[in-house]
Amino acid sequence: MSIRERLSGNEAIATAMRQINPDVFAMFPITPSTEIPQYYAQYVADGKVDTEFITVESEHSSLSACMGAEAAGVRAVTATSSAGLSFMNEVLYVAASSRLPIVLAVACRALTGPININHDYSDSMAERDSGFIQIYAENNQEVYDNYLQAHRIAEHPDVRLPLMVCEDGFITSHAIENIELEEDEAVKKFVGEYHPENYLLKKENPLAVGPYGVSNYYMEARVAQAQAMKNAKKVILDVAADFEKTFGRSYSFFEAYKMDDAEVAMVIMGSSAGTAKAAVDKLRAEGVKAGVIKIRVFRPFPGEELAAVLKGVKAVAVMDKSEGFSACGGPLFAETAGACINMPDRPLMVDIVFGLGGRDFTVEAALSVFDRLKNIAATGEVGELYTHMGQRER
C-alpha cells in the first residue's frame, strides 16, 4: 500500500536509495545534489542501511570508486550536478564502455561559464553521448519512480549500462511536493538483488575490466555497446509495465498530453512540461487543438515512437533547455528533427532555446509559442528556425 508523504526531489531519491540499500555510495558534494548524500549519510549513521559510504576528494573519484565497486560485483551509486558531472566526463565514458550498471542521480544545473547554480540541462546534455541511459522527471513523484526502475533497467543482462536519473535542480530537487512512497519490502522485491554474471572477484572466471581496446577489437566493443542501448528500449518498457502492475503508476518513453487530434504541439522535458500542459488546457478550452509531448527517456532516444505521435501534426516547437552552440538548434531539436526526417508528411518544426540558467518559463510564454505555431500552421511559413526566448533584448 502506498504511503502519502511530502518530500523534495532530493529526499525522494535518498529515500529510494535507502529502500534499495546499495552496497556502495561514493560521494562528493555539489549544489544542488548535495542533499542526496547528506540524507543518505544520516541513514548510514542511524543504521538504516549497511551501505559502504565513501567520501572522496572529487566527482572524478566518486564515479571511479563506483566503477571499482561495480566491477567487483556489487551495486554502486552516486549523485552530482553541473561541473561535477563535467569533472566525471572521462570516467562516464569508461564506465559505459566497461558495461558497469552504476546509477547516477543528477540534479541538473547550468554549467559554469558564467558561474550559475540554477537549473537547465546543459550539464546532462553535454554528456548525452557518453553511453549512459538518461531518464528525466517532471515532478518529485516521477523522480522517485524513475529511481525505483533504474537499477532493473541498468542491470538487465541485455543492457548492462550505467544510468542517469535526472531531476531539475532546485525546481524539483528542493521543492517539496506530495508524493506516494512504496513500502520498503515492496520496493526491495520489485528492484531485486544484484547478481552479475561476471565480476572481478569471481575466481571461477578471471577477467579484466577496462583493458586497452586495440584496433582489432575497439569497434566491436562499441557496436556491442550501441546494441545494448537499443536493447534498453524494450527493457525500459518491460520494467515500466511491471512497475504499473506492482504500484499502479504508468510510464513510457514520453507522455503524449492531448495529442490524439493535436494540430500544434510542443516537445519539452522536465518540470517545464507542467507549464506547457497548463497552456494546452487553456487553449483546448478555447477550441485550439494543441498538445504536449514530454520526453522522459532521452537516451535511448525514442525516435520512431515520437515520429509516430507527431504524424499529422501541422507545426511543432521543440523546446531546448540547453544551448548546443551548433548555430542551428539544441540537442533535443536535433534528435526530434532527425526522428522525423523520413516521415512522408512531417510537421513544420522550429527550435526554441529557453530557461537557461534558471530563467523563468511561464504559461504566458508557452502560450506565445503556441501563437507562433498557429501562425506557422496557417501560413506554412516557418520563419527563423532556431531562436531564443525569455532573454532581455539590447
Is 101 within 8 Å of 163 (Cβ atoms)?
Answer: yes
pLDDT in tens, 33-84: 999 999 999 999 999 999 999 999 999 999 999 999 999 999 999 999 999 9
**Residue 199 clears pLDDT 80, i.e. is over it:** yes
User: How high is the mean pLDDT of the chain?
Assistant: 97
Edge to edge, the sheet with strand 348-353 lists 254-257, 290-295, 264-269, 315-320, 348-353, 386-388
For residues 263-283, average pLDDT: 98
Where does the chain hold its CATH 3.40.50.920 domain(s)? 254-388
What is residue 394's predicted lDDT score, i.e. its pLDDT? 63
Q: Does domain 3-247 have CATH number 3.40.50.970?
A: yes
- Give the list of residues 6+ apart from residue 118 with CB closer than 8 angstroms, or none: 109, 110, 169, 170, 357, 358
Share of residues in the chain with pLDDT > 90 (%):
96
What is residue 48's predicted lDDT score, i.e. its pLDDT? 98
Cell numbers for 274: 507542467
Where does the chain hold its CATH 3.40.50.970 domain(s)? 3-247
For the domain 254-388, what is the CATH code?
3.40.50.920
What is residue 208's predicted lDDT score, i.e. its pLDDT? 87
Cell numbers for 248: 499502479
What is residue 266's predicted lDDT score, i.e. its pLDDT? 98
For residues 252-278, average pLDDT: 98
Cell numbers for 129: 553521448
What is the model's pTM?
0.97
What is residue 206's predicted lDDT score, i.e. its pLDDT? 84
Question: Which stretches does DSSP call E strand in the chain?
Answer: 3-8, 24-27, 52-55, 76-80, 103-108, 133-136, 163-168, 176-181, 254-257, 264-269, 290-295, 297-299, 315-320, 348-353, 386-388
For residues 289-309, average pLDDT: 98
What is residue 362's predicted lDDT score, i.e. its pLDDT? 98
